[in-house]
Each structure stands twice: as structure tokens, then as C-alpha cells.
Amino acid sequence: MELQASEVAQATGGTLVGPDVVVRGVAIDSRLVGGGELFVPIVGVRDGHDFVATALAAGAAAYLTSRAPAAGAATAIVVADTAAALTALGRAARTRLPDRVVGITGSVGKTSTKDLLASVFARRLVTAASAKSFNNELGVPLTLVNAPDGTEAVVVEMGARGRGHIASLCEIARPTVGLVTTVGAAHTELFGSVEEVAAAKGELVESLPTTGTAVLNAGVPLVAAMAGRTSATVLTFGMGCGEVRGEVLGVDPSLRPCLDLQTPWGSVALWLPVRGEHQAANAVAAAAAALACGVTLTQVVQGLRQATLSEWRMQLDLAPSGALVLNDAYNANPVSTEAALRSLAQLPVERRTAILGMMAELGDIGPAEHRRLGELAAELGLRLISVAAPDYGGEQAADPDEALRLLGPVGAGDGVLVKGSRAAGLEGLAGRLATT
């Protein structure tokens, strides 16, 4: 989105210092500056102000600052708090966007559903969507401000770490469609219970206008019950249930599911390009949201067939060694880890190994859930290597290097799943396997 520096100052309550230049989008990471952006230094573990000079050297047109700007430097907008200013800028950017903004939340499937829906929208509409998993108080305003001029649809992923978080994000993004993928045991250490997770996720549908649409998973009672928390129209989806429903007809050797999609707008069967039978539910959710926004069933099919997912999500690589590496290392909770284990069991290989890191933020249920999934791996006939997560059982590794030593040589006939929460840091291990 193109803005004058003076417009940024007005939106943020800041003071413009220097020429009234044009900025194109926003960056909060100096390494991602491509030229022309407004650089917003965030104060966290590291102080982003320390990277202003780097951002300007990379081509940033202006910057926000809560410090006194350097004399003679590039255009600056002085604000009291840069993070709060970014929120205000996102709120202002929303006024330039159409009333086709879809908010997506849920315990699992948010990013994949976002990717699928963005692909569908792009068949017909100029579309902006959250990058990767930018779903918090920084990611949501970034998505809005970085939407290109002329945007016709926006897909905003929304995460939560407690009650009130999604409500705050909705106040910025003002979604007209709210999609809840599912509610399950994720971040229960923070929320306390699955019911508290549902209470927080339901803030999305509560925020919708009466002219909006809540897209709810009919197969999950805690999600279906959210229909009572909104004045918007409700459209349900699910696997084998809901107004927009799906059924998996089969899975090919590369784990791509064939989806039978049945909707009030017609029915169709298609092979999905994403991997894992569980991705079919995300495709059905995306289809429901797109249809609610007036996209045709033909365009839905075209978009789903051409979709790609963000990295490290059911990414299947054929390594030079001949092994198949299933990289699902972006994050992990009981629902997604079970789905990944079942997908590994479907790979057409002779030997199957799951390398699992911890599932973080589960609280009191954590040990039992790790044990349950370790037992599931055994039931599925999988070799299990646990990385700093002894509750899984299996072969124990203290770190990724030891996990690779335990795994030993792999080649044609081997399938290896790598899965864990971000805290486990297994993406590097997956990358090494995929390139050796």
C-alpha cells in the first residue's frame, strides 16, 4: 500500500521530520527491506532502532522512531511507541480495503487454510494474505498495510495466547467473514482448557457484522456452538457433515488426497496438490469461505488445484540419498502430530521413521499426550526417535545431531517424518536430511 509519510504521521499521531516522501508497504525486519518501505523498529528482545541505519542503507524510504531522529538522516516519523504506531497504521490501512476481509483462526490448520483460500481468491480477485504465520499483533497490521493498492480480498490469519487477543486483532482488521478451523489441545498451558481455547477463538465470530458470515466446522461441537455467539449468517463445513462437506476418496503415493466436495453450489471431485489426508478438511474450509464471498465453484476448484503451502508444512522432499523426507517441522500439537504420523504410515516405503520433538505449551496434559502419540507410532509400525522429549518413548536423542546419528544411513525405501514445535528447532534437521 502506497502512503505519504504525512499520512503515516497523521494515522499514528506522530511528528514528521524530513521530506514528505512516499512509502510503499512496511517492514519490521531490516533484512527484508527491498526498497521504498517504511521501516518500523520494534523493541523486543532486541531493539529494532539498532537496525534503522541498515534498513535505510537497504532502501527504506522512511522510518518510525521513538528516539530523537539523527540530524540530516532520512525521513522519520517520531512516535511514542513504535508497536502501537504499527497497530494504528494497520487500522488506518483497513479503511482503504474492501469489505471482503476473511479472518481465520483455530487450534490447527490456520496457515494451510489461509494459503488455500488465498489461492482460490487469486483466481478472480486481487488478493493479499498473511505471510507465513504472521498472525499476531504485529503480523495482522503488517498484512493490512502491505496489501497492494487495488486489493479486492484479504485473508488474515489470527492467533491467540489468551482471551481478548483475537478481539484486539479483529478491532484492527474488522473481518467480514470469520472462519474457525477447529478447536483442540493446543496452547492449553496458556489457556487452561480446551473450553477456554474455544472461548478465545470465538471472539472472531463475535466481531463480525450482521452482514458478515461465520464459517464454522460442523464436525467440532465447540466450534459449531459458536453459531450462538454471532449475529452474522452462519455457513457450516466439515468432513462428512455441514453445508459444505468433503470426503476423501483416496490418497496417491505422494500423500495427495482426492477430495469429493459437495456444496449448495454444486459438487465436484478433485485431486489436491497439498499432502496429507487431513489437508482435505482445510480445503473444504477454504472452499466454504470462498463460496460465501461469491467465488464460483469452478474458481474454487481452479484455486485449490494450484495452491501451495507455506514451508515446513507437510513438505515432501526426495533426498539425494533416495529417502523421502516429510518435513512438517513448523509446529506441533496433538492434532497435527497424529495427522502427520498417520500420513507417514501411508508413504509407499519399506521403512518409516518418525523423528519427533516436543509439543510445547500443553500444560498438565502434555506428558499424557506425548505418551499417547508414542503409542500410536508403535501401533502404526513406525520407528520412533524422540528429540529431547522422553515422554514419547522410543529411541531417545538429546538433540538433533544425536537424532541423526541414531537414524543412521537412509536411502531408497526409507521415509522419515520430522515434526515438532518451533521450540524443538527440528527444521534444520529436516533440511539436512532432504539435501544429503
| Mean pLDDT of the region 169-179 | 98
Q: Looking at the structure, give the CATH architecture of the domain made up of residues 97-305.
A: 3-Layer(aba) Sandwich (3.40)
DSSP 335-351: HHHHHHHHHHHHSS-SE
Every domain of the chain with CATH number 3.40.1390.10 lies at: 2-86
First to last CA, the chain: 42
| Mean pLDDT of the region 322-337 | 92
pLDDT number for residue 161 = 81
* Contacts of residue 214, Cβ cutoff 8 Å, sequence gap at least 6: 177, 178, 180, 205, 208, 226, 227, 230, 232, 233, 234, 235
Residues 282-305 pLDDT 10s: 999 999 999 999 999 999 999 999
Query: In the chain, what percentage of residues exceed pLDDT 90?
Result: 87
Report the alpha-carbon distance of residue 39 to residue 24 in Å, rounded. 10
Query: In the chain, what percentage of residues exceed pLDDT 70?
Result: 98
Query: Which residue, 389, 278, 296, 290, is CA-closest to 339?
Result: 278
Q: Indicate the average pLDDT of the chain.
A: 94
| pTM of full prediction above 0.85 | yes
Grid cell digits, residue 173? 482488521
The CATH number given to 315-434 is 3.90.190.20
Every domain of the chain with CATH number 3.40.1190.10 lies at: 97-305
DSSP 235-289: EEEEES-SSEEEEEEEE-TTSPEEEEEEETTEEEEEE-SS-STTHHHHHHHHHHH
Residues 10-33 pLDDT 10s: 999 999 999 999 999 999 999 999
The CATH number given to 2-86 is 3.40.1390.10
Q: If pLDDT is split at 50, 70 and 90, which confidence band does 234 have?
A: very high
pLDDT number for residue 185 = 64
Query: Which residue, 232, 231, 239, 221, is CA-closest to 183?
Result: 221
Report the alpha-carbon distance of residue 84 to residue 107 in Å, rounded. 27
pLDDT number for residue 188 = 58
Every domain of the chain with CATH number 3.90.190.20 lies at: 315-434
Q: If pLDDT is split at 50, 70 and 90, which confidence band does 404 have?
A: very high
Residues 176-224 pLDDT 10s: 999 999 997 655 566 668 889 899 999 999 999 999 999 999 999 999 9
pLDDT number for residue 363 = 86
pLDDT number for residue 361 = 81
DSSP assigned state of 405: H
- Residue 114 scores a pLDDT above 90: yes
